[in-house]
Structure 1
């Protein structure tokens, strides 16, 4: 593993001997129903991210009273994207295709800022140093091979994530499109620096279109929120 990658993990507070199997976080934010929409829908979500393999599970409640549920996940090498009403009525489900897996893998790689233990402990990741402020991380093989470029801020923490060809559709035409995310407002949780603000956008021919924004309400490194972790929410969501 390149020294610059190990240094990134250390700057984010990861201790080589510490190896939680996953991290968990909760979010509150807004997202667009379509890229053409001018309106934003509020959501609340919970997410787990594995640190020893490429896997995550994001579950959200959207709209009035949280009547619409969304699930975006990568499990056992397969992608999943479902939308239901009242938790049981299916509204949309993405087909299981290599394009869906690539999209979910890219999300996992981009969100490694929220699971920094994976930098040292996920053997599925491949790293490349592109420059003093840029690292590339990849995973998958063949039709699902995926890569994301991570940009570092002046403190050496992850500030941006970029993929030049993330699929916008799980089925043809898959519309590979430049896609990028931004992370900011890092807060110290125990020994780990966690970005608490994020935004994601597609780079369309005419302009960049942001479609997802969130603030992290809670974060912990064992996948189960404790009373101690709950007591930290004010510190994470309060004024800087």
Structure 2
């Protein structure tokens, strides 16, 4: 179902326009992007792993698929995905040896929905085209976006920069685990290096952190290496 831009709060319509999105967004244009960066082996560790990744993001429904490769010759692969209301997180060695497969729980679904919302800066057409998103203003430079219902409902707050683009995202209680105890924890993302690319203003750099016991720990840093939209 298409969500008319006229049905959205004015601040949301304005955000989409500032990012270069036409009225209503491009409903059929799937985003495909690639990234390179580093991710911590585990929280609290000084050790980082290099990765490369390819991701697709849907504009009209809360869906994405992130496939990344880590380690020597990309021997460790990760699939982090959300589609049709189902979440998935798998880790494989050499492409066929399962190392981890996360149980499909409400906590995992909630966390993956939060990820989709937090990455709208990389799929700006979804801001206007995704009818599953519910928006409200929270002051002159903040927007709150929510999706889903019940225990898997997800919500994040966006803070805008001086140019009115998405500078950071925040969730007060993203689950750190898919099963009990799920450890709801403050979770923050930051975007930078905005560039005009194929008609859209996109952040070409980002980082993600957990806030544990009042201390922020960045565990993911990455940069876009390509970005495109196609039906």
Same fold, TM exceeding 0.5? yes
Question: Hey, what's the Cα distance between the residues in 1 that align with 2:42 and 2:112?
Answer: 18
Give 4+ residue runs of structure 1 displaced > 6 Å after superposition. Answer: none
1:81 aligned partner? 89
Task: Tell me the CA shift for residue 47 of structure 1.
Answer: 0.1
Deviations 1:27-58 (A, max 9, x none): 00000111021010000000000000000000
2:4 aligned partner? none
Alignment of 1:84-95 (within 5 A): 84-95=92-103
2:126 aligned partner? 118
2:20 aligned partner? 13
1:2 aligned partner? 9
Question: Hey, what's the Cα distance between the residues in 2 that align with 1:40 and 1:201?
Answer: 14
Deviations 1:47-76 (A, max 9, x none): 000000000000001011000000100011
Question: Hey, what's the Cα distance between the residues in 2 that align with 1:64 and 1:151?
Answer: 37
1:25 aligned partner? 33
Question: Hey, what's the Cα distance between the residues in 2 that align with 1:140 and 1:65?
Answer: 38
1:104 aligned partner? 112
1:200 to 184, 208, 214: 208
Task: Tell me the CA shift for residue 206 of structure 1.
Answer: 4.8
| Gap runs ≥5 in structure 1 | 224-240
* 1:20–1:117 CA contact under 8 A, matched in 2: no
Q: How many residues of Structure 1 are paired with residues of Structure 2 in the alignment?
A: 223
Question: Hey, what's the Cα distance between the residues in 2 that align with 1:175 and 1:21?
Answer: 36
2:3 aligned partner? none
Question: Hey, what's the Cα distance between the residues in 2 that align with 1:105 and 1:153?
Answer: 24
| Gap runs ≥5 in structure 2 | 1-7
Alignment of 1:1-240 (within 5 A): 1-16=8-23, 18-222=26-230
